[in-house]
Amino acid sequence: MSSYLDSHRREECFGCEACVQVCNHSAIEMVEDCEGFRYPKINIASCTNCGLCRKVCPYDNPPIKHQEHVYTFGGYHKNANIKDRSTSGGAFTAIASAWCDNNYVIFGAKANSTNVYHSYITDIAQIDVFRKSKYTQSLIGSSYKEVKSFLKEGRKVLFSGTPCQIAGLKTFLGNKEYSNLLTIEVVCEGVPSAIYIRKYNAYLLQKYGSPIEELDYRYTDSKQAIPQHSTKLIPGKWDFQVMRTVLANGKTLKIDRWFNPFWSIWLQHLMSRPSCYECPFATPERNADITLGDLWGVHLYCPELYGRNGGASLIVCNTQKGKAVSTAALKDLYGHELDFATALKYQGPMRKHISPNDNRTMFMQDLINCDYRTLTHKWAINPSVKLLWQKYIWGNRQKIWWWNLTNKK
């Protein structure tokens, strides 16, 4: 296999930045291409041809995957406040609490306006900055080097990220196993172009005179707006999440998920990173100690975990270490063990990578050249009547109600 550094084939670069961090001569930098994705560029004048950058590339030298699934769990955090402040069921917080007893460091993706980057905290009371799905590829920065330094100091490190970021960390560490390192990956369906959210920000700045200060793609509010930016409210929770945008001037906007152009375009697989369409990590065999995701299909095979539509998490333990920590976290979680094969049926990104949309090239041209309104009007698809019926008339909540009614003892 050859890496992007040799082939310059974009599908062969995950953007993990391992090559940048391993270079002792600062000869590599990440440069954004016309589609909004960052790729490594070598400064030939500074390069010594040592080969370290290729050695740590997870495409060139992928880490060995864990073949067994030691333990699978479904449920949600017993603390309602923590669950409400999480994207799904709050499992990440419970696991972090179980791992971080003393002398610990937690790494995760942190958002600042529309920018997302990896950072770390040394006080679990600050973990709120790592909660919530960001739907943007985070800038790793010097995180891998910092992890290695903390591990050498003997500190317990929890590193969370996408599967390719976990792979990048492992190859950066020479695929060495550390007893004081716990890796947690999120189920990932591809990372979208950063250009889209910049266009959205520019549109809001022009319309409301203020840029984005905070963005929550899946805000589980007790009320939600329908359709876009409407003030009409209806009840809503996990199944009816909204995208909540808070502007710097204090104005708050909410867009119903099924009328949100972002979800429509992203789920059509029009704007994901090229490597996402060939992702080698989208398989049942995983790289991290623990895989976390939404408990999709909960209303079909474990409705007792639906939790009044408050959100539920899937925890897949791929190592004995992951199982030990997850078991210790059960004191903070309500739920039970699940059959992995059954859970896998409802986790598409854990079975295979996404397929490219035939219109991706055309969309990317419009993403680069068109303004936000023109782009979304052309490419976003309004939900069908069937989907709206399933979600708002006879959706998951109604199915759970019927299940509870017919399963009363």
d(CA 150, CA 172): 14
The answer to whether residue 285 scores a pLDDT higher than 90 is: yes
- Architecture, CATH, for domain 4-55: 2-Layer Sandwich (3.30)
Residue bearing the bigger pLDDT, 390 or 187: 187
What would the pLDDT profile of 342-397 be if each residue is shown by its tens digit?
999 999 999 999 999 999 999 999 999 999 999 999 999 988 888 777 776 766 66
pLDDT band (50, 70, 90) for residue 399: low
Give the residue-averaged pLDDT of 305-322. 88
Secondary structure class of 380 (helix, strand, coil): coil
Count of other CB atoms within 10 angstroms of residue 122: 12
Express as a percent the part of the chain with pLDDT over 90: 76
The structure tokens 């009044």 sit at 308
Alpha helices by DSSP H, 226-338: 261-267, 298-301, 320-329
Provide the pLDDT for residue 310: 73
Provide the pLDDT for residue 390: 73
Provide the pLDDT for residue 68: 82
Give the residue-averaged pLDDT of 178-193. 97
Provide the pLDDT for residue 134: 94
Provide the pLDDT for residue 231: 43
Phi first, then psi: give them for residue 358, nearest 5 degrees. -60, -20
Give the residue-averaged pLDDT of 328-336. 97
- Token reading at 32: 């954004």
Least confident residue range of 23-32, 178-187, 298-307? 298-307
Say if CB 286 and CB 62 are below 8 A apart: no
pLDDT band (50, 70, 90) for residue 17: very high
Instruction: Indicate the pairing of strand 290-294 with strand 181-186.
Output: parallel
As a whole number, the mean pLDDT across the chain is 91
Provide the pLDDT for residue 308: 66
Say if CB 141 and CB 252 are below 8 A apart: no
The answer to whether residue 222 scores a pLDDT higher than 60 is: no
Provide the pLDDT for residue 311: 85
Residue bearing the bigger pLDDT, 398 or 225: 398
- CA neighbor of 124 nearest in space, from 112, 150, 106: 106
pLDDT band (50, 70, 90) for residue 295: very high
The answer to whether residue 223 scores a pLDDT higher than 70 is: no
Residue bearing the bigger pLDDT, 203 or 69: 203
Provide the pLDDT for residue 228: 47
Give the residue-averaged pLDDT of 100-105. 93
What would the pLDDT profile of 25-43 be if each residue is shown by its tens digit?
999 999 999 999 999 999 9
Provide the pLDDT for residue 235: 39
Provide the pLDDT for residue 232: 43
Provide the pLDDT for residue 236: 43
Secondary structure class of 51 (helix, strand, coil): coil
d(CA 55, CA 228): 48
Provide the pLDDT for residue 234: 41
- pTM metric for this prediction: 0.92
Instruction: List every span in the chain annotated with CATH 3.30.70.
Output: 4-55
Give the residue-averaged pLDDT of 204-215. 97
Residue bearing the bigger pLDDT, 192 or 239: 192
